[in-house]
Amino acid sequence: MSDGLNYKFLWETFFVALSGVPITLLVTAVALAIALPAGFLLAISRINKIPILYRLAQAYVSFVRGTPIIIQIFIVYSSVPLLLDLFFKKYSIGIHVYDVNPIWYAFIVFSLNTTAILIEVFRSAINTVDKGQLEAAQSVGLTNFQAYRRIIIPQTLVVSMPNICTATVNLIKATSLGYAMSLQEITLKAKVAANVGYNYVEAYLDIFLVYLILCSVVEYGFKLYEKRLSRYKLTVA
- pLDDT tens digits along 57-99: 999 999 998 999 999 999 988 888 888 888 888 888 887 888 8
What average pLDDT does the structure give for the chain? 89
- pLDDT tens digits along 137-152: 878 888 888 888 888 8
Rounded-to-integer distance, Cα 108 and Cα 147, Å: 31
- pLDDT tens digits along 208-217: 999 999 999 9
- pLDDT tens digits along 29-54: 999 999 999 999 999 999 888 888 88
Q: Is there a contact between 67 and 80 (Cβ–Cβ < 8 Å)?
A: no
- pLDDT tens digits along 169-190: 999 999 999 998 889 899 999 9
**Burial of residue 145, with CB atoms counted within 10 A of its CB: 0-12 exposed, 13-18 middle, 19 or more buried:** exposed
pLDDT confidence band for 153 (50 / 70 / 90): confident
Rounded-to-integer distance, Cα 18 and Cα 16, Å: 5
Rounded-to-integer distance, Cα 23 and Cα 189, Å: 11
* Neighbour-count burial for 188-227, b at 16+ CB within 10 Å, e otherwise: bbbbebbeeeebeebbebbbeebbeebeeebeeebeeebe
CATH number corresponding to 20-184: 1.10.3720.10
Please report the pLDDT score of residue 62 as a whole number.
93
Dihedral angle sign, alpha carbons of residues 37, 61, 50, 156: negative
Rounded-to-integer distance, Cα 124 and Cα 122, Å: 5
Domain chopping of the chain, boundaries: 20-184
Report whether pLDDT(233) > 70.
no
The answer for residues whose C-beta is within 8 angstroms of residue 15's C-beta and 6 or more apart is none
